[in-house]
Structure 1
Amino acid sequence: MAISPPSDIVLDVARAAEPQDIEAARAALTKRAGGAAAAFTVEAADAARRTDTEQAGPARNYQRFEAMVLQTFIQNMLPKDAEGVYGKGLAGDMWKSQLAEHLADVMADRGGIGIARSMLADHYLEGKRVVPVGAVSGGPEQAARDAQSSLSNSLVQEIQRRMVRSLSDDPAAAAAATKI
């Protein structure tokens, strides 16, 4: 059974309270918290979130990316015609979206499906510089070794082709192979 109040009940109560009562309640909460400051603003929350993200480094960013991908997967997997569970209209869509977001965050925190791990295994950012790690990319030294190996393989294959041509019965083909 759902109710549909005409407005936000909590905000209505806060607006109806006298400013002195609000200050008294805030003081009582501060006293119960052991004197800790009870002021928590949106700016303080944003600063705390930024600090947490900066300290976590690239691993947390890849994990957040994986959570975003998982959220899309989960939203598409949730049933579309379950208005009895989610609710109708915009409120139901929002609840369903928040459910998918929370499930995706929990899955990504617990290891996810490996998107973040595979991206982090390839490289990470150190400031603005991309630093390759692991056996996936190997860095610029690996790229140079791969290019040298490719050239070596090409040379060996060309020598093999010439040898096969020289062993053939046709003397004209053998002469042409030795000219090249």
Structure 2
Amino acid sequence: MLRAINKKVDAAQPDFHAFLSVYATPSESLCDRFAELDRARFGEVAGVNDRGYYENSFHFPSYLDTNPVAKISFEAEYTPLTPGGFMFYVEAPNLTDNPAAFEAIWDEAYDHVGYFGINSPADVCFVCDFEGEFTCDRHGYVCPSCGNRDETKANVIRRLCGYLGAPMKRPVVAGKQEEIASRVKHA
């Protein structure tokens, strides 16, 4: 599909006074908006639009279990097909106590992909001093130790669509929240 899109872009290039290119990471709000529009138009299609969101670009599905090397290998094949830009990342458990794992993942990415990040949660609750990963549900984030949901008494950072955000302080669209909640750690 990306090859076909690139051919269309190349064919359209003479009509523009700027360079056209395929960019691989869509906006945060489109992940659920396009899925909703497609369900209205085509009905629910199992394995395609039956979740409240679409995955960003060519990423390995966030809800499927894999390991960092397999994910990087799968996504690396798309690099030449997205010359306008792309983002690679893996979800990892908190790696503060395992710097060797962090470095091994980073080395693998360095050898195979461009722009890369490791999502390793380090949330903090200012009520009970919990440090680790908050639980994510359809209502947002909650401290697994004391149940705190107050965004003024906690710090939660997540990768949203290529950028880091504080979803307790600035909630994301419902589809992106569902996608974040479904992310499987790549260990």
TM-score, normalised to structure 2, is 0.20
* Structure of larger gyration radius: 1
TM-score, normalised to structure 1, is 0.20
Whose strand proportion is higher, 1 or 2?
A: 2
Asked which structure has the greater RCO (Cα within 8 Å, sep 6+), the reply is 2
